[in-house]
């Protein structure tokens, strides 16, 4: 159910029943009980239990710490013979080790019931917020609105998500009024691409398409299209073989109607001083655009000079940069504006212990409902990846890379007498499998946590699992009561940076990232991998967090969620948790 996926809720239906509390810790409101069977079934599939969390090759960290590398290698070879050696036709060999998993202490999760009006407003508010959204999320929102709520779009909703505007135009014939967005719609009709990028690939796709845009351009108005002709000239000219007359008309009209693009100073906040005359740009910006500029200035204020840039497809590249003196002034300027616009005096926020949320800038940079860059702290940490063959990959390989070398699937399982350990390599997961890295108290080196798709699709699904590491024993790998989060996500290429372990103030810290390694390949200690590691270390060692910003905006932080106006506990995060407070 899409409403459960996005909001942990269903549509409300009248009921005289009492609140239902399941053995698994679900509290279902009376008005949601009509969907009780679907709710229980959905979360049974979505949430990992204690057994799932311990479907590792070896079953205890004590075994890893005390075994020699040769002993671990021999057991690993038996496993390889039973999978690749038998072409996955025989029984998979896993060492016979005893598990003694602690009983799960329940954290109650409330399943809400929203009226049609409330659900409609929640969906439209996300589309109206201006935050960039994943295509899957847009499709889910439109499906709820159109299919479940029978909502008719009017074009007056003030939707600010560019991809959603295009899909609404295509599905429901409600066209954008902005000429740039209308051109984006024409490009989408031509190529099924929503990005306005003047590159060779898009121009080639337009030229090869049989779509004729004449009627669309004429219905919208040639004068309005002429205003942006020069800005997107290569894209317009790519249509000339299909629509020569209308393209020639727009070209001629552009000599009269052309409007130059005015640069948004927020895009240059790290090297150009913002002034009072620029306030209208801040007033018309989404809060997430302001967060992005604020964060960029903050990181440079504190010395970051190397950056890993994440691009739209989830991949990345690395670049050196030079700081300027405007960053501190612009940081204060943007923060002062945020304080004037968003005031949270008298509001109480609950944040989970040992979790610092990253500033949300784009839902495309979320892992599940958690912003990329969120940091998790503990004396020890266990970080891993869970997958099932049915999700698109048989063999995922977890590894850690730091100055001391590599630990993981084709390297050592134990670094520096147990400072960093690997749970073992599993090459097939018909019923699910998990691989972990364990960061002990003594780990001092920043460590990239990597995933490699060895056998499977580059866009396979998996869950990133984050928990506090217990004292080393023979009982289990992951105590389900010490789990921070499990976040379902999708790989964007064969090699992915899941996150980074950053020892900080005598504790371990894991930064949740999940982006494609791209040009910053980090399979070894090459110059580019060292630069990528340094960039991520600089960026995430002491960033400005969502928690800190909320305090700057006047909110009170409370430690009892029952007394909070806004509950940000990890198990109760919804798709709009980070957007609705700024609407």
Question: How buried is residue 89: exposed, middle or buried, by Cβ count under 10 Å (0-12/13-18/19+)?
Answer: exposed
Residue 554's pLDDT is 96
Among 93-102, 176-185, 556-565, the range scoring the smallest mean pLDDT is 93-102
Domain end among 236, 257, 278: 257
Domain co-membership, 437 together with 466: yes
- 426 and 462 in a single domain? The answer is yes
Domain match, 81 and 207 both: no
Whether 268 maps to a domain, the answer reads no
Whether 436 and 505 map to the same domain: the answer is: yes
Most confident by average pLDDT, 245-249, 315-319, 324-328, 471-475: 245-249
- CATH for 534: 2.60.60.30
At 552 the pLDDT is: 96
Q: Are both 91 and 18 inside the same structural domain?
A: no
- Give the model confidence (pLDDT) of 103-112 as tens digits: 666 667 889 9
Q: Flag whether 555 is in a domain.
A: no
Q: Which of 257, 283, 304 is the last residue of a domain?
A: 257
Q: How many domains does the chain have?
A: 3
Give a yes or no: residue 288 inside a domain. Answer: no
Residue 312 lies in a domain: no
pTM summary value:
0.86
CB 56 within 8 A of CB 475: no
Spatial contact of 51 and 59, defined as CB atoms under 8 Å apart: no
Instruction: Kindly state the average pLDDT of the residues 259-287.
Output: 92
Residue 26 token pair: 């679900």
Q: How far apart are CA 324 and CA 273, in angstroms?
A: 10
Look at residue 192 and give its three-state secondary structure.
coil
Classify residue 481: in a domain, yes or no: yes
Among 265-269, 291-295, 320-324, 507-511, the minimum mean pLDDT is found in 320-324
Share of the chain above pLDDT 70, in %: 88
* Domain limit, last residue, from 257, 276, 291: 257
Strand ranges of the sheet holding 566-567, from the earlier edge strand across to the other edge: 556-558, 348-350, 566-567
| Domain, as residue range, for 453 | 59-104+355-546
Q: Determine phi and psi for 409, rounding to 5 degrees.
A: -60, -30
- 66 and 171 fall within a common domain: no
120 and 17 share one domain: yes
The answer on 434 and 393 residing in a single domain is yes
* Pair (171, 67) in one structural domain: no
- Domain membership flag for residue 392: yes
489 and 362 share one domain: yes
What's phi and psi for 507, nearest 5 deg?
-125, 170
Residue 367 binned pLDDT confidence (cut-offs 50, 70, 90): very high
Count H helices, E strands: the chain? 18, 24
Q: How confident is the model at residue 313 (pLDDT cuts 50, 70, 90)?
A: very low
CB 1 within 8 A of CB 42: yes
Among 38-52, 115-129, 461-475, 525-539, the least confident range:
525-539
The string over 337-367, giving b where at least 16 C-beta atoms fall within 10 Å of a residue's C-beta and e elsewhere, is: bbeeebebeeebbbbbeebbbbbbbbbbbbb
Which tens digits make up the pLDDT trace of 5-33? 999 999 999 988 888 887 777 889 999 99
Answer yes or no: is 273 within a domain.
no
Tokens for 312, please give them. 């739209």
User: What DSSP character marks residue 507?
Assistant: B
In-domain check, residue 340: no
């Amino acid at each position: 159910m899409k409403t459960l996926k996005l909001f942990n809720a269903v549509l409300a239906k009248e009921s005289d029943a009492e609140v239902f509390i399941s053995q698994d810790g679900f509290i279902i409101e009376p008005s949601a009980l009509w969907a009780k069977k679907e709710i229980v079934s959905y979360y049974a599939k979505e949430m990992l239990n204690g057994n799932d969390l311990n479907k590792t090759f070896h079953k205890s960290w004590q075994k890893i710490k005390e075994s020699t590398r040769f002993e671990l290698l021999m057991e690993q070879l038996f496993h390889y013979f039973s999978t690749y050696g038998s072409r996955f036709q025989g029984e998979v060999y896993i060492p016979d080790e005893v598990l003694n998993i602690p009983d799960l202490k329940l954290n109650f999760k409330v399943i809400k019931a929203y009226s049609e009006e409330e659900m409609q407003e929640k969906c439209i508010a996300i589309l109206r917020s201006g935050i960039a959204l994943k295509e899957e999320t847009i499709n889910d929102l439109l499906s709820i609105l159109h299919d479940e709520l029978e909502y008719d779009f009017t074009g007056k909703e003030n939707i600010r998500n560019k991809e959603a505007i295009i899909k609404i135009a295509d599905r429901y014939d409600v066209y954008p009024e902005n000429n740039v967005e209308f051109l984006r719609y024409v490009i989408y009709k031509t190529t099924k691409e929503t990005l306005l990028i003047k590159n060779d690939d898009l121009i080639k796709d337009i030229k090869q398409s049989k779509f004729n845009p004449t009627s669309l351009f004429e219905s919208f108005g040639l004068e309005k299209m002429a205003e942006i002709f020069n800005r997107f000239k290569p894209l317009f000219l790519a249509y000339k073989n299909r629509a020569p007359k209308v393209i020639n008309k727009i070209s001629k009209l552009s000599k009269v109607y052309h409007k130059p693009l005015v640069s948004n100073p927020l895009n240059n906040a790290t090297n150009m001083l913002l002034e009072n005359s620029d306030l209208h740009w801040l007033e018309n910006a989404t809060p997430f655009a302001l967060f992005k500029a604020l964060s960029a200035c903050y990181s440079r204020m504190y010395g970051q000079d190397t950056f890993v840039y994440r691009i739209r497809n989830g991949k990345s590249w690395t670049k050196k940069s030079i700081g300027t003196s405007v960053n501190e002034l612009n940081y204060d300027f943007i923060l002062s504006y945020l304080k004037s616009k968003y005031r949270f005096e008298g509001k109480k926020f609950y944040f989970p212990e040992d979790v610092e949320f990253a500033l949300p800038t784009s839902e495309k940079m979320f892992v599940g409902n958690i912003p990329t860059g969120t940091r998790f702290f503990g004396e020890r940490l266990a970080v891993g990846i869970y997958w099932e063959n049915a999700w698109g990959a048989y063999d995922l390989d977890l590894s850690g890379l730091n100055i001391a070398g590599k630990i993981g699937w084709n390297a050592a399982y134990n670094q520096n007498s147990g400072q960093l350990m690997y749970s073992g390599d599993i090459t097939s997961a018909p019923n699910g499998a998990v691989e972990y890295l364990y960061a002990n108290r003594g780990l001092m080196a920043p460590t990239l946590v990597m995933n490699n798709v060895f056998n499977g699709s580059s866009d396979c699904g998996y869950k990133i699992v984050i928990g506090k590491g217990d004292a080393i024993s023979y009982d289990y790998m992951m105590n389900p009561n010490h789990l921070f989060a499990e976040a379902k996500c999708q790989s964007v290429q064969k090699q992915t940076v899941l996150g980074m372990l950053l020892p900080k103030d005598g504790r371990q810290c894991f930064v949740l990232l999940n982006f494609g390694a791209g040009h910053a390949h980090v399979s070894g200690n090459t110059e580019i991998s060292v630069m990528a590691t340094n960039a991520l270390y600089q960026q995430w060692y002491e960033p400005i967090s969502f928690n800190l910003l909320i305090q700057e905006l006047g909110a009170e932080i409370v430690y009892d969620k029952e007394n909070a106006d806004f509950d940000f506990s990890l198990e109760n995060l919804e798709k709009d948790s980070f957007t609705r407070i700024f609407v």
